[in-house]
Structure 1
Amino acid sequence: MTPEKPSLDLLRRLTDSHVVGAVVDHGRLTRAELAVTTGLSKPTVADSVRRLESAGVLADTGERSGGPGRAGLYYDLAHGTGTALAVAIAPEGVVAEVLDVRGAVVSRATAQVRRPARPATASRALERAVRSAVEEAGAAGTGPVRLSVVSAADPVDRATGRLVHLPDAPFLVGALDPAAVLSGLVDGPVVVGNDVNWSALAELAARAPRVPGAAADAPTGPEAAPADFAYLYLGEGLGCAVVADGRVLEGAHGLAGEVAHVVVTGARGRATAFTEVFAELGLRRHEGGTAIDVARLLEAVHGGGTGGDRTLRTLAAAVTDVVTALVALTDPREVVLGGPWGGDRSVVDAVLEHVRGAKRPVVVSPATVPDAALAGARSRAVASLRSHLVDRGAGRATP
């Protein structure tokens, strides 16, 4: 059976993607330089440049190449091609960044979220931060905000993009619809994801070899670092992302990785829910709440003495029980410990000591990406903006 040939439309899109990627990565280039950089023929590059220039994606800079031979025109991204918005909604507050297609931060704004965080107060903080960042970027003439990627410290319903309120949620008390809040501030789609999932994707991208021009969130190469790992987030809240074959497993309703109620060994040596261990150790932020007091936990862990050693041993045993459950269910090659206290060296070392004695030991390592949730959202936003520019060249996206 003869393989089906790729359509002309697909070939043009792939060509435009390579050309846009080369300009994004290298800056202004002539058509001859684009041909060398992309490995495409000069006529193919010339056709792509004409399409992208007509769509307002590329522009003649007015500069000419020097040296012997025929002078070439330099092309770069057109002014005002637009930006992307990356947002993080977390207990520390809301962070909004407007990014250009090269990943540079055009503007940044923050807003505090009053605790306990309820949908109305979180919505106001979200709108305030985003509006400030968008208005600052607009004043710089960067063009419209084409799309947004939101990281949220709560489970996210895959079908609606709304944040899901679960019993014993440590941060947001109620449901929130970030897409509705941003509808008047962003021209295009709003993608919402859980912060632990974005953190895992950022970790995945950081561990994978890069190929120039590849999407910012796409690991490449056969020797890419473990594509099967579990990212265990340990902060005010507790969460997990399971990465299999380079993809995060979200579950039917986006609720995969909720590990707070995994049964572990508690401070008194009895079986208890993971989240209850912190109540037993007196490490809750507020009486009756489930948010973990990270500062007090780290102070206890590093304070030494009988109390600190007991706290560290109890935490390490509980985390190891969660790791054991993850190994039994998902068989990851590695478990990455992230979050404000999960990546602490003392915690990691203590967990390693416990894991070595497990029946099915696994590699345990600290996360490597700082501010991983925002980094993951930022990476996806920039990659999506690049795809948008390619779609404009192909006539698939609105100008």
Structure 2
Amino acid sequence: MMTSPVGRSGVDAGAAPRQVSLRSVHVEQVLALLRSGPVSRAELGARTALSRATISSIVGDLIDQGIAVNLPPGPDRRAGSGRPAQAVALSQHRVRSVGVDFRLDGASVALADPLQQVTGTISRTHRRGLNWQDRTTIALEAIRTLCARHGVDLAAPQGIGVGVPGPVPLTPSGAPWRVMVHRLQDELAAPVYVDNNLRLSALAETIWSTRPGPASLLYFHLGRGIGGGVVIDGRLYRGATGSAGELGHVTVTENGPRCHCGKHGCLEQHAALPALLRRAGLTGDRRAVDQVAADPRLAGPLHDAAGLCGRVVGDALAALDICHVIVGGILAHVPDDTLTRFTDAARERLLPSIRGALQIRPSTLQDAGALGGLALVHHNTPVLQGYLVRASTSYESTQQSR
């Protein structure tokens, strides 16, 4: 991650869970009242039984982060017999956060409003190998197009969550995408948070899926590469170096094919799309990932790869004591018997206590990386923590209307 802002309350994302939880309850009480219309601070205090200091702190944070605004005093809103009371209302037509997923051949963008409800999503494609300056230009155009389409104001969003391919070290001083970070910060006047796009897909699955996932899950993606993400108690697990979830680089054969990571025998060299195409004699094929499962020439290699991937995932589940898996990429489109092969292989590696609780299902979420970018902003700002789980209904209705 590039930056880590702290709200006026001083509650950081790493604060003690009990403190954050209590704060979240109070914030939700205030937001519930504000959703019904403008309310004065005195009314908020009376209807929530919170102290004046607590109301002042929460409202101050909401205003600072663009979630709420002060309204001019009106003659019909008086605090007793004195001067008219100033009402507080939720902001309208404003972007609070932006999510961007930079894929190898395109970018997806998602916008969220001050209550972190998804405003809309949009995707763009480009040729593979495009430099980061041009990729950033495409993303900025998509962001502005989406704002214009929905009539929302992009002035000073709370943050921009960005997913990029490949490992994201905790101190990415030499990362090639740093030019993208600086440009987004400069042009949108907001902090930028960066993580691996498949890890962000894992986080998105816990929030916006049509079947919202549990607080702890493993997301596994099989495509041109192999990767994933781990969410524990609603939080992304990044690991000591920022490489958590890189299951494609687990060694499955000693002295196997050399991988681009420098090791030999990585899962990716045996089960990712290029390996499947080689086994089927289809080298040079550039088909889309979602077209692979329907090709009968790939049925055998894909069935074998599902078993190999399942064993690696099973070992990860056994180590983490996680019972829920969501599969994306090619595995989200395979026939039932291939997914069963994956599931059975994973189950064989588990203790009985985990085996009986194991649940594996394909992802149904579109634009998962961009939605995960929105969640990344949320998880790095203190206001609305614990509130984002309610966003799923809004996104489902957005998807149905697209």
Q: Which TM-score band (shorter chain)?
A: 0.5 to 0.7
Q: Among 129, 140, 155, which residue is 1:116 paired with? A: 129
Aligned to 1:370: 365
Specify the code of the residue in structure 2 equivalent to 1:335.
V
> TM-score, normalized by length of structure 1?
0.66
What residue in structure 2 maps to residue 87 of structure 1?
100
Q: Which residue of 1 aligns with 2:289?
A: 294
Q: Is 1:234 aligned to 2:222, yes or no?
A: yes
* Aligned CA distance change for structure 1 residues 240 and 84 (closer, same or farther; 3 Å): closer
1:60 and 2:71 correspond: yes
Residue 325 of structure 2: aligned partner:
335
Q: CA deviation at 1:103?
A: 2.9
**Is it true that 1:352 corresponds to 2:354 in the alignment?**
no
Distance 1:96 1:274, change over 3 A: same
Q: Does the Cα contact within 8 Å between 1:146 and 1:186 map onto a contact in 2?
A: no
Measured after TM superposition, the shift of residue 127 of structure 1 is 3.8
1:225 equivalent to 2:220? Answer no
Match in the other structure for 1:190: 192
Measured against aligned partners, the alpha-carbon deviations of 1:286-322 in whole angstroms (never above 9, x if no partner) come to 988898852442112xx4xxx4552342122121222
Q: Please give the alpha-carbon distance, in whole angstroms, between the structure 2 residues aligned to 1:81 and 1:121.
A: 27
Gaps of 5+ in 2: 1-8, 12-18, 257-263, 385-402
Instruction: Decide whether aligned partners of structure 1 residues 281 and 143 sit closer, same or farther in structure 2, where only a CA change above 3 A counts.
Output: closer
Partner SS, residue 260 of structure 1 = helix
Q: Contact 1:226–1:333 (CA<8 Å) still a contact in 2?
A: no
* Partner SS state of residue 225, structure 1: coil
Displacement, 1:29? 3.3
Go from structure 1 to structure 2 and tell me whether the alpha carbon gap of 1:225 and 1:341 turns closer, same or farther (over 3 Å shift): closer
Shift of 1:150: 0.9
Counting only pairs closer than 5 Å after superposition, residues 257-296 of structure 1 correspond to structure 2 as 257-264=245-252, 272-277=265-270, 278-282=273-277, 293-296=288-291
Aligned partner of 2:387 in structure 1 is none
2: CA distance between counterparts of 1:24 and 1:131? Answer: 28
Measure how far apart 1:124 and its partner are.
3.5
1:18 Cα offset (Å):
5.2
**Matched AA of 1:21:** L
Distance 1:230 1:50 in 2: 36
DSSP 3-state at the match of 1:351? helix
Give the CA RMSD over aligned residues. Answer: 4.8
Matched, 1:387 2:383: yes
Partner residue of 1:311 out of 301, 316, 326: 301
Q: Which amino acid aligns with 1:365?
A: I
Q: Which amino acid aligns with 1:276?
A: Q
- Change in Cα spacing, 1:359 to 1:309, as seen in structure 2 (3 Å) is same
| In 2: Cα distance, 1:20 partner to 1:81 partner | 19
Whether contact under 8 Å (1:206, 1:369) holds in the other structure is no
Are 1:254 and 2:249 matched, yes or no?
A: no
Contact kept in structure 1, 2:317 and 2:350, CA below 8 Å: no
The answer to whether the Cα contact below 8 Å between 2:222 and 2:330 also exists between their aligned partners in 1 is yes
Q: CA deviation at 1:230?
A: 2.2
Aligned residue for 1:143, secondary structure, equals coil
> Which of 81, 96, 110 is matched with 1:97 structurally?
110
- Residue 325 of structure 1 aligns with which residue? 315
Tell me the TM-score normalized by structure 2: 0.66
Deviation at 1:177, TM superposition (A): 3.9
Matched AA of 2:340: D
C-alpha distance 140-368 of structure 1, shift in aligned 2 (>3 A): closer
Distance 1:52 1:263 in 2: 48
Q: CA deviation at 1:365?
A: 0.9
Residues 148 and 189 in structure 1, CA contact (< 8 A), matched pair in contact too = yes
In the alignment, structure 1 segments of 5+ residues that lack a partner are 1-7, 164-173, 211-223, 389-399
- CA distance, structure 1, for counterparts of residue 10 and residue 349 of structure 2: 54
Mapped to 2, the partners of 1:64 and 1:367 lie a distance apart of: 56
* Identical residues among aligned pairs (%): 21
Q: Quote the Cα distance in structure 1 between the aligned partners of 2:155 and 2:38.
A: 19
- The number of residue pairs the alignment matches comes to 344
Alignment-derived partner of residue 220 in structure 1? none
